[in-house]
Structure 1
Amino acid sequence: MPAHRNALRIAVVTMIAWGSTALAAETAGPSFSCATVEAGSIERMVCTDAGLSALDRKLAEVYGEATGKAADEHPPVLKAEQRGWIKGRNDCWKADDRRACVEEQYRLRIAELQARYRLVPAIGPVHFACDGQAGNELTATFFETDPPTMIAERGDEVSLMVGQPAASGARYQGRNESFWEHQGEARVTWGYGAPEMTCRKAP
């Protein structure tokens, strides 16, 4: 093979390889541009960590699906909540283990959006009568997220709870609510400092 053709062939192969590497790097990065992020920032950590970048891409996908479901939401809260979530994620610079904090923030936000906007399979709604009173009802829907989540409704109040480790049964924790079900009976607290209720599956 003439030298000039061989050199051309090597150049073409090199360009193809470089293009493939650049495409792979772009695909492996987060959903946002890393060109202008500050050194030492949480965004820089996400840009340089393959696992966190993958979580960011997953969140962007789920957020896009949620946006479609939230088109008729009044008032429109999803965008504002996402801005608040980004601020909370970036506050992980204060944590002792920054990476673990960032990973948890992503996992919880993905699960929250999947549950709230019904983007994954669910079990329920399941109805529970609490403290032996048919009128004191709690309705629970369980979502196949990671970590597991549930949405509990009581009257006009709604609580999104996240699955917690439990020796038996299923335990979930919300902001001021908790739910622990074992063999059809649930122990529920609803509100800060509220007494525990015993709830059983309604017929």
Structure 2
Amino acid sequence: MRAHRNALRIALVATLAWGGTALAAETAGPSFSCAKVETGSIEQMVCTDADLSALDRKLAEVYGEATGKAANEHPPMLKAEQRGWIKGRDDCWKADDRRACVEEQYRLRIAELQAKYRLVPSTGPVRFACDGTPGNELTATFFESDPPTMIAERGDEVSLMYSQAAASGARYQGRNESFWEHQGEARVTWGYGAPEMTCRKAP
């Protein structure tokens, strides 16, 4: 009888241990199911890489927070943008270093959502007058995302820029815009091939 109870106890412990391991494995995976991902796909890479899985879970968390902020967004852009982002992530199979490409895609997207939907602390808005012309203004808001980001507004145009390494000051780069501030003065390029402007903090 005692042997039977011991056998049951061992079986129960083994079952609990297996269940805990399965739960831990599930928790450690990405936010999506790995059951039917294609072999050799970017999704499979995310499923089998603990750090990429963690970034995927972080993105899912941030996306959920952004969804709450975007409830009254017209037109609704968030879902469409996310679908486009997934396509861009999956295009990393073309990159020389696929893993580095995927990791960068996740980090930039997380930072973008944190800035765009004001999910992290920020500084600003800070106004800059450019080229000595009062009407030529740029407004910058800086966000404590990872990597740090800024949203710059000039007229009716908006640019999201990411922090770049700089020997001095703070440098940010967007799609066709750049911003480098040092001691209250900023050098700004706004638009592809546009001349550089000198901007100073407005009083």
TM bin, normalised by shorter chain, reads: over 0.9
Counterpart in the other structure of 1:191: 191
The aligned counterpart of 2:31 is 31
Instruction: Please state how far the C-alpha of 1:9 moved relative to its aligned partner.
Output: 0.4
Q: Does 1:12 align with 2:8?
A: no
Task: Deviation per CA, 1:71-90: give whole Å up to 9, x if none.
Answer: 11111011000000000000
CA distance in 2, matches of 1:175, 1:46: 26
- CA displacement at 1:126 relative to structure 2: 0.4
How many pairs align? Answer: 203
Shift of the alpha carbon at 1:133? 1.0
1:167-186 matched pairs, under 5 angstroms: 167-186=167-186
Deviation at 1:57, TM superposition (A): 0.2
For residues 93 and 4 of structure 1, the distance between their equivalents in structure 2, rounded to whole angstroms, comes to 55
SS in 2 for 1:79: helix
- Per the alignment, residue 115 of structure 1 pairs with 115
Counterpart position of 1:155: 155
| C-alpha distance in structure 1 between counterparts of 2:72 and 2:133, whole Å | 36
Question: For each residue in 1:76-112, what CA deviation from the matched residue of structure 2 results, as whole angstroms up to 9, or x when unmatched?
Answer: 0110000000000000011111110000000000000
Q: Counterparts of 2:40 and 2:5 in 1: how far apart (Å)?
A: 47
In the alignment, the residues of structure 2 paired with residue 138 and residue 10 of structure 1 have an alpha-carbon distance, to the nearest angstrom, of 69
Give the structure 2 partner of residue 59 of structure 1: 59
Note the 1:133-148 alignment, pairs <5 A. 133-148=133-148
Give me the whole-angstrom Cα distance separating, in 2, the residues matched to 1:188 and 1:134. 16
What SS class does the counterpart of residue 193 from structure 2 fall into?
A: coil
CA separation in 2, counterparts of 1:177 and 1:79? 25
Counterpart amino acid of residue 149 in structure 1: T
Give me the TM-score of the superposition, normalised by structure 1: 0.99
For 1:101-158, what per-residue CA distance to the aligned partner results, in whole angstroms no more than 9, with x for missing partners?
A: 0000000000000000000000000000000111111000000011110000000100
Deviation at 1:67?
0.5
Gaps of 5+ in 2: none
Identity within the alignment, %: 89
* Unaligned 5+ runs, structure 1: none
* Regions of 4+ moved over 3 Å: none
Q: Find the residue that maps to 1:102 and give its secondary structure.
A: helix
Separation in 1, partners of 2:178, 2:53: 32
- How far apart are the structure 1 equivalents of 2:64 and 2:198? 39
What is the aligned-residue RMSD (CA, Å)? Answer: 0.7
For 2:105 and 2:191, the matched residues in 1 are separated by 24
Query: For residues 192 and 37 of structure 1, what CA distance do their matches in structure 2 show?
Result: 39
Letter of the 1:198 partner, please give it: T
Q: Aligned AA for 1:159?
A: S
Distance 1:65 1:134 in 2: 38
- Separation in 2 of the partners of 1:97 and 1:13? 44
